[in-house]
Amino acid sequence: MDGEAGARFEDVESWAEHYVLSTDLAVKLAPPPVPRIFAPAREPRRIERPGRPAIFRRAGRRERTPKPEALKDPHYRARALHAFFHHELQAAELMCWALVAFADAELEFRKGLVGICLDEIRHMNLYREHIERLGSSIGAFGVRDWFWQRVPQSVDKIAFVSVMGMGFEGANLEHARTFADRFRSAGDEEGASVQERIAREEVAHVAFATRWFSRWTGGCDFDVWVSHLPAPLSPMVLRGKPLSVEPRRRAGMPEAFVRALELYEPEPNGRPLDAESPPGEASG
C-alpha cells in the first residue's frame, strides 16, 4: 500500500506496522489518518527493521556532525539538520514499533505513543522545510539507523521508556539547545528557532516516559533506570553537557536523579560505554 494516501486500516496497530515497514517517503512524512480503534487482542510482534525510501543511503565515515565553525555554511547546516530529521523519523518509527511490540500494554500508554509519534512526524517536517530553505533536500546526505540498532534490544516496556524517552529524548533537551546556540551564532535565527521549539516540545515526551517508568518501577531511581538500559548503552551517551536541569525537572525527573545523571562517571570494569555516540548528537 506504499504511496496510497487514501489507505485505510482496521486498527492502530496495523497503521503503526505499515508506517514502520513503508518504503515510501510520502508515507513517512504524511501517513494516512490514524484509526480510532486499537486491536482488542493482538499478539505482540517485534519488527526487525524499518522500511527505507530508496533515496536514503548509508552515511560514510566522513559525514559526521559538522564542527561549529562549519555551520556558517548553509550546506553544513543542512547536513546537520538532515541527521536530526532522520533522528525524528527513527523516533516516529520506534513509537510505532513499541505499539506493535507492546500491543498488550495499558491502553493509556499506547494512546500516548500515538501522540508522540505524530509529534515526531511534525518535527521531521519542520526540519525538512528548513533543509529546503537552505537549498538542500531529503536524501542529499547519508543516514545511520543508530537508534534502530539499539532501542529494539529493549526486553520490555520499562526498558523502552528508559532508553527512548528518558534516554534519547532526554538527551535532546541538551542537544537541541546546543545546536540552537550554534545556529544562532552562524546567523541562522530561523534554524535556531526550530531547534528551540523542538526542545520545548520534547519536555512532554520525556515526562511521558518518566511518568510510566515511575508507575511501573515504583519511583524514579537513577540506579534502577541504569539497570533497565539495554547493554551496552551507558548514561554517558544519554545526556548532553551542560545538563538542562530545569527542563528535566519539569519532565518529572527528581532532583536526586538529575544530580546523579549530571555526576555520572563509569566505574572501572563496570557498565561498558556504547561504542559510539548517536550521529548528530540529537534524538527525536
Name the residue type at position 32: P
**Residue 268's pLDDT is what?**
64
Grouping H, G, I as helix, E, B as strand and the rest as coil, residue 115 is: helix
Q: What is the pLDDT of residues 194-253, one digit of tens each?
A: 999 999 999 999 999 999 999 999 999 999 999 999 988 999 999 999 999 999 999 999
Rounded Cα–Cα distance for residues 174 and 196 (Å): 10
**Residue 183's pLDDT is what?**
97
Judged against a pLDDT cut of 50, whether residue 284 lies above it is answered with no
Judged against a pLDDT cut of 80, whether residue 264 lies above it is answered with yes
- Of the candidates 143, 111, 125, 135, which has an alpha carbon nearest to the alpha carbon of residue 279? 143
Q: Give the list of residues 6+ apart from residue 102 with CB closer than 8 angstroms, or none.
A: 44, 109, 110, 156, 157, 160
Distances (CA, A) of 130 to 145, 169, 275: 22, 21, 31
Burial profile 97-117: b = 16 or more Cβ within 10 angstroms, e = fewer = bbbbbbbebeeebbebbbebb
Q: What is the pLDDT of residues 32-73, one digit of tens each?
A: 999 999 998 889 999 999 999 999 999 887 767 788 999 999
Distances (CA, A) of 34 to 58, 64, 221, 278: 30, 35, 35, 30
Cis before residue 242, ω within 30 degrees of 0? yes
Judged against a pLDDT cut of 50, whether residue 128 lies above it is answered with yes
Q: Cell triple for residue 146?
A: 543508530
Judged against a pLDDT cut of 60, whether residue 116 lies above it is answered with yes
> Taking CA 237 as the corner, what is the angle to CA 231 and CA 243, rounded to the nearest 5 degrees?
140
Q: Cell triple for residue 39?
A: 486491536
**Residue 1's pLDDT is what?**
41
Q: What is the pLDDT of residues 131-190, one digit of tens each?
A: 999 999 999 999 999 999 999 999 999 999 999 999 999 999 999 999 999 999 999 999
Judged against a pLDDT cut of 50, whether residue 270 lies above it is answered with yes
Judged against a pLDDT cut of 70, whether residue 3 lies above it is answered with no
Mean pLDDT computed over 3-13: 76
Domain ranges of the chain: 1-35+69-149, 152-277
Residue 57 has phi, psi (to 5 degrees) of -130, 155
Q: What is the pLDDT of residues 106-115, one digit of tens each?
A: 999 999 999 9
- Of the candidates 16, 190, 34, 170, which has an alpha carbon nearest to the alpha carbon of residue 105? 16
- Of the candidates 145, 283, 281, 116, which has an alpha carbon nearest to the alpha carbon of residue 209? 116
Question: What proportion of the chain, given as a percentage, has pLDDT over 90?
Answer: 85
